[in-house]
Structure 1
Amino acid sequence: MFRIGQLARQYGLSRSTLLYYDRIGLLCPSGRSEAGYRLYSPVDRERLAAICSFRQAGLGIGDISGILRSSGGSTAEIVSQRLLAVGREIQALQIKQRLLAGMLRLQGQGGPLRSVDKEMFVELLRAAGMDDNAMQQLHVEFERRAPEAHHAFLLSLGISEREARTIRRCSVHEWQP
Structure 2
Amino acid sequence: MNNERMTKNMLTVSRLAKSLNLSRTTVLYYEKQGLLKPRFIAENGYRWYGESEIERLKSIVSYRAYGLSISDIRLLLEPCSISQGQILENHFRALEKEINNLRGQQKAIIELLKKSILLKEKFMNKAKWVEIMTAAGLSKEDMMKWHQKFEEMEPEEHQKFLESLGISLEEISRIRNL
TM-score by length of 2: 0.59
- The 3 A distance-change label for structure 1 pair 25 and 136 is closer
Q: Distance in 2 between matches of 1:64 and 1:134?
A: 34
Q: How far did residue 34 of structure 1 move? A: 5.5
Q: Percent identity?
A: 32
Count of equivalent residues: 124
For residues 94-133 of structure 1, what are the structure 2 equivalents within 5 Å? Answer: 94-107=103-116
1:61-118 Cα deviation digits (max 9, x unpaired): 111111111268521111100000000000011111111122212237x98xxxxxxx
1:44 to 50, 53, 63: 53
1:27 to 31, 36, 45: 36
Q: Secondary structure at the match of 2:45?
A: coil
Q: Distance in 2 between matches of 1:61 and 1:91?
A: 24
Q: Distance in 1 between matches of 2:60 and 2:107?
A: 35
Q: Secondary structure at the match of 2:36?
A: coil
Q: How far did residue 10 of structure 1 move? A: 2.1
Q: Secondary structure at the match of 2:54?
A: helix
- Residue 61 of structure 1 pairs with residue 62 of structure 2: no
Counterpart of 2:138?
Answer: 137
Q: Distance in 2 between matches of 1:66 and 1:74?
A: 9
2:99 to 75, 90, 99: 90
Q: How far did residue 19 of structure 1 move? A: 1.7
TM-score by length of 1: 0.59
Counterpart of 1:127?
Answer: none
RMSD after superposition: 3.1
For residues 9-28 of structure 1, what are the structure 2 equivalents within 5 Å? Answer: 9-28=18-37
2:89 to 50, 67, 80: 80
**Structure 1, unpaired ranges of 5+:** 112-132, 149-177
Counterpart of 2:15?
Answer: 6
**Structure 2, unpaired ranges of 5+:** 1-9, 121-133, 147-160, 167-178
- Give the partner amino acid of 1:86: L
